[in-house]
Structure 1
């Protein structure tokens, strides 16, 4: 049994989960209506496990990530870390954010252009009053692949390549010796030649430090290359999840199938019709049904589930390691 399998199996019921969302809901007021950005999510990340959270823009994945970081408070449900509910007092959040760190997609935007690399990486340790600052900064830069670290201390962001800037952002997270990284589109702004280097770095950090990670992305190819498990999100809910090889080689939900179809090796392209997801207007029945190619093609009617697709809501998926899909058509073996 591999370490990855062990980590996946420990999250089967939330037991052993390092970071967990339980029946999480986050709603905002928008244009006089309630926007259900996260509308019932169960998600668990085990020790040393990398989970990819995949979906198109507007599906709620960034709001979910911000809520897991404690930057948004849930309307209902809870975030749990190491078995305990997240507390929202300033002292508790400060302690929590030493354990769970954010890596942003735009290093040029997240790095202060007036601060040197040293100052950027030292910011977290200074906030938390950690001793041996220079040693911490040097170690973090070295672990992020910027060696020798002293060579980068006095450089400014504009003097670095895109890949080097992203490594500085990662070093800033590592300086606090976290247990979990939440990486929001970590390679979206990088050239293809550099993307592989950053993904390899994240895998190395998992191997060397036992880090867990939630990687938020719209790119299923990235999920394939880095994740142990994948969770596919649509309109505030996870609609399919499971081991990455199983979900991405044999996707059961029509939405996952459509996302997979844009990859170069896909035999056919599935073009979704209808409106993009609007969290202020969640449709009845299956929330994907207005855009579903299986329903539009008549295959759902042939399977006798077309009425259910339009009218019967689906259960919220639990946080289990096995492959699962919230789909009436998939449930009858479609």
Structure 2
């Protein structure tokens, strides 16, 4: 069930960019953003069961680090990202930023959003078509009462986002721009407040393949030049390979595998991660087709939450490893928020000691 990517293969994919990222912050440094035991539950409609969209997540993002949060639609990754910005209030757990708990008063959230900004996936929907580029980028400055020179700040943000000379774009409207230029305006609107953290939700999903690499290269350059941290939410493991230092794979409200991007994407341990990787064009072998119903946060099965779709259990490999009963009945603990390699899988944990003894 192992799935590996050939050396250098992802870089040959459309939109791939070279890894120009600097070393991340030392492991001993405290994280910029820390999440512990986070839960977000939405009440069900008309007597239906509540939806546990985020069901226990620990996650750290260090200064200057890019973390990719990956998973299929419905796994809870967008809800998690929005909760990190205070857009969705958690029903349990805590979010800590720069050592201080996140407050949820209007004043506290306003101050926090100067330091943590959201980049949405659809620039056509997130940009006001009646506003000029200048007004779109300047909006954050006006909301937060910027005391400096507004024109200079807007020009610097547009220039950093790759729109040069910036004055040429001041009086343009979104419909006059290409898709890549619109996404750069969205990024400039986030940069104008000089944040420390960007949360990018599928930042290149709506762009042509020829433009994707440019935007990914821009995010890497911003990390290099400004020391920005970023959480990149995506369903695309190829994107994660190209941009991230670490990857966290999410399934049904929880992170099921995490670690350095090279380790997770070249030697995945969780069957879900292996299935996600198997559909990449560069992956060897046939794609793994998951059977069963897609994840439903209002019905979380007992035991391992992936076991009803797990090909390892269906093939009998879990029985041979002696963990089939555990897969069906024993819930796995929440993975810790550090940067070490971790997996929430009874079979993967049983297989590792065997491999170590064989080595």
Paired residues of 1:8 and 1:321 also in contact (CA < 8 A): no
Paired residues of 1:80 and 1:86 also in contact (CA < 8 A): yes
Partner of 2:314: 296
| Mapping 1:1-334, distance limit 5 Å | 6-7=24-25, 9-10=27-28, 16-31=30-45, 32-131=48-147, 132-267=149-284, 268-333=286-351
**Considering only aligned residues, what root-mean-square deviation do their CA atoms show, in Å?**
1.2
1:33 alignment partner, SS class:
coil
Deviations 1:227-268 (A, max 9, x none): 000000000000000000000000000000000001011122
**Post-superposition offset of 1:321:** 1.0
Paired residues of 1:144 and 1:170 also in contact (CA < 8 A): yes
- CA distance in structure 1 between the partners assigned to 2:344 and 2:195 by the alignment: 33
**Post-superposition offset of 1:5:** 5.3
Paired residues of 1:8 and 1:49 also in contact (CA < 8 A): no
Paired residues of 1:108 and 1:165 also in contact (CA < 8 A): yes
Paired residues of 1:4 and 1:228 also in contact (CA < 8 A): no
Paired residues of 2:21 and 2:223 also in contact (CA < 8 A): no
- CA distance in structure 2 between the partners assigned to 1:30 and 1:7 by the alignment: 42
- CA distance in structure 2 between the partners assigned to 1:4 and 1:262 by the alignment: 30
Q: TM-score, normalised by structure 2?
A: 0.90
- CA distance in structure 1 between the partners assigned to 2:27 and 2:278 by the alignment: 29
- CA distance in structure 2 between the partners assigned to 1:20 and 1:53 by the alignment: 14
Paired residues of 1:87 and 1:93 also in contact (CA < 8 A): yes
1:264 alignment partner, SS class:
coil
**Post-superposition offset of 1:129:** 0.8
Paired residues of 1:254 and 1:293 also in contact (CA < 8 A): yes
2:72 alignment partner, SS class:
coil
Paired residues of 1:23 and 1:40 also in contact (CA < 8 A): yes
Paired residues of 2:124 and 2:174 also in contact (CA < 8 A): yes
**Post-superposition offset of 1:7:** 2.4
Q: Quick one: structure 1 residues 3 and 82, their matched pair in 2 at CA, closer, same or farther if it must change by over 3 Å?
A: farther
**Post-superposition offset of 1:29:** 0.8
**Post-superposition offset of 1:4:** 5.8
1:230 alignment partner, SS class:
strand
Where does the alignment leave 5 or more consecutive residues of structure 2 unmatched? 1-19, 353-359
Q: Quick one: structure 1 residues 39 and 106, their matched pair in 2 at CA, closer, same or farther if it must change by over 3 Å?
A: same
